Amino acid sequence: MIKTIVNDKQLLFGILGIIALLIIVAFAPNIAPENPYVFGPDVLNKIGENGHILGTNKMGQDIFSMIIYGTRTSLQVAVISALISGLLGILIGGIAGFFGGTADRIVSEIINIFMMLPTFFLILLIIALFGNSIYNVMIVIGLTTWPSNAKLMRAQALSLRERTFVKAATAMGETKGQILFKYIIPNGIFPVIANTTVGMSNAILTEAGLSFLGLGDPNIISWGQMIYDGKSFLTSAWWIATFAGVAIVITVTIFYLLGDGLNHVMNPKHSKGKGV
């Protein structure tokens, strides 16, 4: 187990990165030098001025502390939306692939159609109409991104249901529901997990994009929101937008590394590939 992780550089860095992110999330109040929700007297301080490592914004909030607290928002969005999309994908794809027939044909057609819809715009539209709380953002991202998970799960279920151990379970008289939840889903879930990690990166990018268009939740600190605020100060206070973006790039890269690493380890087809 440990040897596999160390051997796969992407997985190793991905896991180390996730651990670092989780530490930041858990100990945010201890790591951040200031409370970013408090508007301080130091307005638009430069880097290092008055002890602000990465400067301050127009409200006198400390940029470094904001980035630390923003990690919580991003990870929350990533995890919750990925859970929703993963669960939906597993259930819908699993049922379609396992039961086959008409149900499968209808579901795969729906998956194909949903994969052709521009997701970002749909999310944008729903958030604009229904209000921009962070919970809406998470739920809507989850509800609109399940088709790729469903597609993977369906393919897994299709091949698993022909396997001997599933046939044996049927012969033993287990019900379809039992087989689906006891054999098909647990055995076919790994590619979905790897895909969900990539979905987490996309969720972070989507949330940032929404915030940048002014559809972020104004009551919380998020990296996208910081870039949105920093846009007006691009020439006078470049640090506001720059470092929040760097935080996004690092976090998203970590999730991509983890996803690719998991893919290599769990998919024997990839085991010889070096990863592109």
Q: Which residues of the chain form contacts with another protein (CB under 8 A)? A: 109, 112-113, 116-118, 120-122, 124-126, 128-131, 201, 205, 208-209, 212-215, 224, 227, 230-231, 234-235, 238, 241-242, 244-245, 248-249, 252-253, 256, 274, 276
Nearer to another protein, 180 or 210 (CB): 210
Separation of alpha carbons 27 and 69, rounded Å? 10
Nearer to another protein, 120 or 190 (CB): 120
Nearer to another protein, 102 or 235 (CB): 235
Is residue 6 within 8 A of residue 246, CB to CB? The reply is: no
Is residue 55 within 8 A of residue 63, CB to CB? The reply is: yes
The least CB distance from residue 228 to another protein, in Å, is 9
Residue 145 DSSP one-character state: S
Nearer to another protein, 10 or 179 (CB): 10
Both tokens assigned to 201: 């990166």
Separation of alpha carbons 69 and 13, rounded Å? 22
Nearer to another protein, 83 or 143 (CB): 143
The least CB distance from residue 272 to another protein, in Å, is 10
Is residue 207 within 8 A of residue 218, CB to CB? The reply is: no
Of 241, 141, 129, the C-alpha closest to 199 is: 141
The least CB distance from residue 38 to another protein, in Å, is 26
The least CB distance from residue 114 to another protein, in Å, is 8
Nearer to another protein, 14 or 188 (CB): 14
Q: What is the dihedral of CA 118, 122, 123, 128, to 10 degrees?
A: 140
Of 69, 71, 64, 68, the C-alpha closest to 42 is: 64
The least CB distance from residue 205 to another protein, in Å, is 6
Is residue 55 within 8 A of residue 240, CB to CB? The reply is: yes
The least CB distance from residue 131 to another protein, in Å, is 8
How many Cβ atoms are within 10 Å of 221's Cβ, its own excluded?
21
Is residue 147 within 8 A of residue 111, CB to CB? The reply is: yes
